[in-house]
Structure 1
Amino acid sequence: MSNLSLMLLECCDMCQASVGFLSPVLTTDPRVCLICGDRATGLHYGIISCEGCKGFFKRSICNKRVYRCSRDKNCEMSRKQRNRCQYCRLLKCLQMGMNRKAIREDGMPGGRNKSIGPVQITDEEIERIMSGQEFKEEASLPEHTWSNNGDSSDHSSPSNGASEGNQPSPASTLSSNRSVEMNGGYTAALRDQYMNTPMNTPYQLLPHLFSYHAQSGLLAPQPRSLYPQSHPLVLQLVAAEDLAPLTTPMLIEDGYKVTQVELFALLCRLADELLFRQISWIKKLPFFCELSIEDYTCLLSSTWQELILLSCLTIYSAQIFGDLADVTAKYTPSEDEMQGFSENGMEVMERLIYLFRKFHQLKVSNEEYACMKAINFLNQDIRGLTNVSQLEQLNKRYWYVCQDYTEYKYPHQPKRFPEIMMCLPEIRFMAGKLVNVPLEQLPLLFKAVLHSCKSSLISYRTGSSPCLTSTGTSPGN
C-alpha cells in the first residue's frame, strides 16, 4: 500500500474516532464544529472544530486567560452567539475534549503532542483550569507577583466579550525584581517593546485585570509623567473623533404628542447620523493605512452597534439623555405596546440603565473614550479578518496607551483603568441584545431607559437615591 493511501486511512480513522467519541450528530456531517456548529476545517487539538474556536482555545491556553460568565455558565454556543461569553466558550472546548497539552508552549503553529482524538478530564480538572488555579500552580508564583516572561498566575481578562469573544487584555511583562517599580506596574523595557518596535512575539502579554486590580493598591499613588510615546497617540485618536453635537433635530413644541411611528423615525435618523460618523472616524484613524479596506469593512460591520452605544454613553450623552429624553417623554405608549414588551426588552432596559449609571459615575474623558473606542474596534477575533497579527499589535498599543494615560491623569483612582475596561464587554453584550429587540418595541424601550436615566440624574443632583423605574410603571408623559 502506498504512503498516500496509508495517510488517507489514518486521517479517516482520526475523524471517525473523534466523531464517535464526541457527538453522534456529527456522524452524518463531520464538517461541523463541535463547539459552535460552524463549518469545521479539520481536527484541531483532538476534536473537529472551526478555525475560530481553534484559535480561541489556543489563545486562551497560551495566554492563561481566566474568564467570567455574568449569567448561569450555560450560554448558548452557536456561530452567531459564540462570541458573547468567553467563559462558556472555553468551558465547552474543554468539555468536548480539546487537548490543551497539544498546544506548543511557544505559541507557534503546529502541535507538540501528536496524540489522536479528544481527551477526557474530570469536572474538577475543568474547574481548576477555568478558575486559573492550574495556571497558578504551573507558574509556582505567588498570586500577586509577575513572572519574567509575562506568564502570570492569573491572566484575567474582561468577562463576556461580544465580538468573537474578546476583550483582549494586553498584559504586563514586568520582571519579578521590578514588579512594583511604578504605580501601575510599567517598566521602560516594556514601553520600548510595545511602543517603538513592532512585536513579532506570540500574543502572550496580557494584563491581569483582577490581579492588576489588587497590585495597584500595594503602593500609595505617586504623581508621575505621561510616557512621551503616549501623548501623541492619544492626541491622534481624539483628533479623529467628531466631538461636535449631533445635528439630528431633537426639539419639539410644547404640548405636541409624539406617535410611535414618529419616534421610531427619529431613532432611525439618529442611528444613521451616528453610523456615518463612525465611517468618517475610520478614515481619520492614525493607523488607517496599516490595515486593508477589507479588514476595516469587516471590523465596522461587526462593531458599529457597539461604537454607537459607547458614543451615546459618553460624548453625546448630554443630547441623548437630555434632548432625546424630552422627545420620548411626549410619547405615550398604548396598552397593547405595554403588554407586548418582551422579557428580552426588560433585560436590555435594566442593563442599559446600569451602564448609564456606571459611565455617569466614571465620567469618562474624551481621551479615555477615544482609547476605549479604538480598543473595542480593533477586535482580532472577528471572523473573516486577513491581518490578525497586525490587529493584535494595534490593540495592545492602545490598551497600554489608555492605561498609561488613565494612571497619569487619575493617580488617586488606582482601580479606574480596570473599571473602564470592564465596561467594554458589557457594551458588546448589550449591543448584541439590542439587535434582538423587535423594532416595534424600540420606542417604548428608549422611553423607559431615558426616563429612568434622566430621573437618576435629577436624583444625583438633589442628593436623593436614584430608583430604577420599571417599564410597567414608566409615566406616559
Structure 2
Amino acid sequence: MCLLQLRMSKELEELSPLGDSGHGDGSEEETEEDDEPKICQVCGDKSTGYHFNAMTCEGCKGFFRRAMKRPAQLCCPFQNACVITKSNRRQCQSCRLQKCLSIGMKRELIMSDEAVEKRRMQIRRKRMQEPVTLSPQQETVIQELLTAHHKTFDMTCANFVQFRPLDRDQKSISEHSLEPDSGRFFHTTMHKPPSEDAMQRNISFSSPSSPSSSVQSTENKEWKQHKSAIFTTLPHFTDLTTHMIKNIINFSKTLTMFRALIIEDQIALLKGATFEIILIHFNMFFNEVTGIWECGPLQYCLDDAMQAGFHRHLLDPMMNFHYTLRKLHLREEEYVLMQAISLFSPDRFGVTHHSVIDRNQETLALTLKTYIEAKRSEPNKHLLYPKIMACLTEMRSMNEEYTKQVLKIQDIQPDVSPLLLEIISKDR
C-alpha cells in the first residue's frame, strides 16, 4: 500500500507544474534560502508549493479545484466571517472558498479533465520510452551469482567420469519401458539438502519417513515390476546425486544473502531447493532436438533414469518441464537468477524468518525482471518473466512425487546416497 501511495504521489508531483499549480516554477519558489517551512495561506497547514497562483496545502488546492468545477452556490451557515484553520477548514466551504479567492487563487489556471488526462498520458509515454537499466545493486547481485555459479558448476562435467560406471542393461528394463513417444530421460535429481556446515557441527536430520501404505493399484503394479529389475544405473546416479548436492551447498554458502541467515533457515532452504536447482542445472545440458542430456563425456537418455528405478509418474512431467524451459533459451544470468529465486523460497518447510527470506526473493525476482527488460530486445520479451516463474511453480509440484519414488527405490535397492536420504527427510 505504501508503494502504491508513493507512486501516486510521484505522479501528482509531475502533474502539478502544468496541471494544478498554474505556476511553472512553483517548487522553486516554495524553497527559499532560509529553508523555513511554508504555510498554506488559506488554512495554515504545511504548504506544498504554489497552486493556482497561491501558496497552499494539498487539501486546499484540491478543494479549490473541486469548488470551481461545482455548479452549486455555496452558502455560509454562520455570518460569512469564519476563520479558516487546519482543524475547521471542512466546516464552512463558502468562507474557505472566499479565502482562496482573496489570496489570489485563479480559476482560469485550472486545467480541464481532458487536459489533465492528456498530461498524464504524456508522462506515461515518457516513462515507457526511457530505457530500463539495472541498478548498481542489481548488477552486484548478478555478478555474485555468476561468480558462485562458475566456482561450483562445471559445464564440461569432467568429474562425471569419476563416478561408478554407468552400466546400461537394456534387457533389465524391457518389461516396464515407456511408450516410444515418451522415451526420453531424466538424470537422478535431489530434493532438499542439508548444509555442509550443519553436518560438520553434528546437526542431524531425522530419518526419512516411510512411504504411505495406501497407494494406487497401478503404482503397486509398476513397483512390483521394478522389484524384478536390475538397477544397473543406480550406483552411477547415486554418485552423481551426491556430487551435485555438494556443489549446490557450496554455491549457496558463497552468497552473502544466504550466509546472513541463521543455520536452521539455511538448512531448510537447501532441503527445499536442491531438487529444483539440479533440474535447472541439467536443463543447461538438455538438447531439445534429440531429447538427450549431453553432459561432457557422457550422454543420458530416459532409459538410464528408468534403470535407476524411476518411472513415468515423475519422468513424463519432468520431460515436459525440460522441453518447456529449454525452449526459452535462457542466458546464464537468467539461469542463475532462477535458481537463486528457487533457493530463497520463504514457504519451505522449517523456515523461521519468513520475512527476511521473502525480501531476498523479491529482490532476486525484481532483478530478473529488470534484467530481461534491460538486456533483451525481442518484441515478446515481456512474456519471458512470467514463463520463468511458471517453470518455478511447475518444479515445486514435482517434489512430492520425486521424494516418494526415491524412498521406494531405497526400499527395493538400498543403494541411495545417505546424503540424499537426509535431504528428502523432514525434521519432526
TM range (shorter): 0.3 to 0.5
Instruction: Determine which structure has greater relative contact order: mean sequence separation of CA pairs < 8 Å that are 6+ residues apart, divided by chain length.
Output: 2
Question: Which has the higher Rg, Structure 1 or Structure 2?
Answer: 2
